[in-house]
Amino acid sequence: MNPYTRREFTKLALLAVPAVGFLSSSGKLTAADAAPMTSPKKPNSKFNGVQIGLNVPYSFGNNLLSADETLANCILLGVSALELRTQPVELFLGVPAELLAPAVRNNPGAVPVGREAVLSAAAKADQLRAWRLAAPLARAQEFRKKYEDAGVLIEVLKFDNIYKYADGELDYAFNLAKALGARAISCEISMTDQREAELKRLGSFADKHQLMVGYHGHTKVTPEIWEQAFALAKFNGANVDIGHFIAGLHYSPVEFIKKHHDRITHIHIKDRKMRGPKGSRNEEEGPNVPFGEGDTPIAEVLHLIRDNHWPIQATIEFEYPVPAGSNRMTEIARAVKYCRNALT
């Protein structure tokens, strides 16, 4: 993460400097751009009762970022609650990194291709499953303490490819989330021909563990698809991405949120245009843009959560192209500031 080295990030995190980061022109972030903290040591991104969170380490551009680097970045940004991907947790617990790293198909010299690649992927999945079934979940408490001592809560734990999990892996997933203090897990909503069976199966484990599943929706997910999930299990819920909603469905998510707020684990905050320029490749699904430049009713949704005192994390998911001369940390800090300003 330029211009700081990994060592500098760790040092800054330990010192908990509240106004450190980046500014597009000079490479530094001013105090005005950083989220305020309740003390020199604790981040605070809860504004007027609304918890602003961050999807990490996805928003930093690397899902395999370590637990320490992920935490350091969150402290630098003043973010106090997360939707955390499982990769930093499992790396902390000792999973071999190669079992999590995706195959790089454009490097035939390093990655097997064809049938060998399929067999290799299957073998890797088997090894990962075996590791999860024997994972040292007691160490998850150590991970949780590290984050909570720094003032950062893990409210949602996100899993990839969860529909491929064996039954034992699903128990592992929910137990891991509970060990980390999460109040929900999240995953992509199934869009296959097996959707009903997949949502029913995962929902049955959610009901068993009494922990919500927030199904994330992209642009093709309609309210009816989420409502199908709700009908299949008591603890099936929704992770409503309000940017994808506006770009894919071309109308506001506000009424859906009002109707189903008790089934919404968290929302994803991003700004997208409803439509792109006429004749462009994204004419039907508008592009991601910096906060405040799109059609997503970010402020209206944040006010809705604030005014109704709903316990819904408003989770920033950084996806728009980084402007020339800037970087991810600068832009994420601006997104946090935009949400803070909307609520204060």
Q: Positive or negative CA dihedral for 286, 287, 293, 295? A: positive
The pLDDT of residue 114 is above 70 = no
Residues spanned by the domain of 108 = 102-134
- On whether both 112 and 241 belong to a single domain, the answer is no
Number of H helices, E strands in the chain: 12, 13
* Identity of the amino acid at 99: L
The predicted pLDDT at position 118 comes to 58
- On whether both 116 and 147 belong to a single domain, the answer is no
pLDDT tens by residue, 21-57? 333 333 344 444 544 434 456 999 999 999 999 999 9
pLDDT tens by residue, 116-136? 555 588 888 999 999 999 999
- On whether both 185 and 114 belong to a single domain, the answer is no
| Average pLDDT rounded to a whole number, residues 269-290 | 92
Give the SS3 label for residue 113: coil
- Residues linked to residue 237 through DSSP beta bridges, in sequence order: 214
| Average pLDDT rounded to a whole number, residues 102-114 | 47
Tell me the pLDDT band of 278, cut-offs 50, 70 and 90.
Answer: confident
Of 282, 288, 279, 275, the residue nearest 319 (C-alpha): 288
Tell me the pLDDT band of 266, cut-offs 50, 70 and 90.
Answer: very high
- Interhelix angle 86-93/67-77, rounded to 10 degrees, is 140
- On whether both 90 and 238 belong to a single domain, the answer is yes
Q: What is the CATH number of the domain that holds 65?
A: 3.20.20.150
Give the SS3 label for residue 195: helix
pTM score, whole prediction: 0.86
- On whether both 10 and 22 belong to a single domain, the answer is yes
- On whether both 91 and 167 belong to a single domain, the answer is yes
DSSP line for 149-179: HTT-EEEEEE-SSGGG--HHHHHHHHHHHHH
- On whether both 26 and 129 belong to a single domain, the answer is no
pLDDT tens by residue, 124-181? 899 999 999 999 999 999 999 999 999 999 999 999 999 999 999 999 999 999 999 9
- On whether both 62 and 148 belong to a single domain, the answer is yes
Average pLDDT value over all residues in the chain: 88
The predicted pLDDT at position 154 comes to 98
- On whether both 109 and 253 belong to a single domain, the answer is no
Residue 16 and residue 198: Cα distance in Å, rounded? 43
- On whether both 126 and 30 belong to a single domain, the answer is no
Domain count, the chain: 2
| Average pLDDT rounded to a whole number, residues 95-102 | 88
CB 291 within 8 A of CB 334: yes
- On whether both 69 and 124 belong to a single domain, the answer is no
Residue 1 lies in a domain: no
Least confident stretch, 103-112, 191-200, 206-215: 103-112
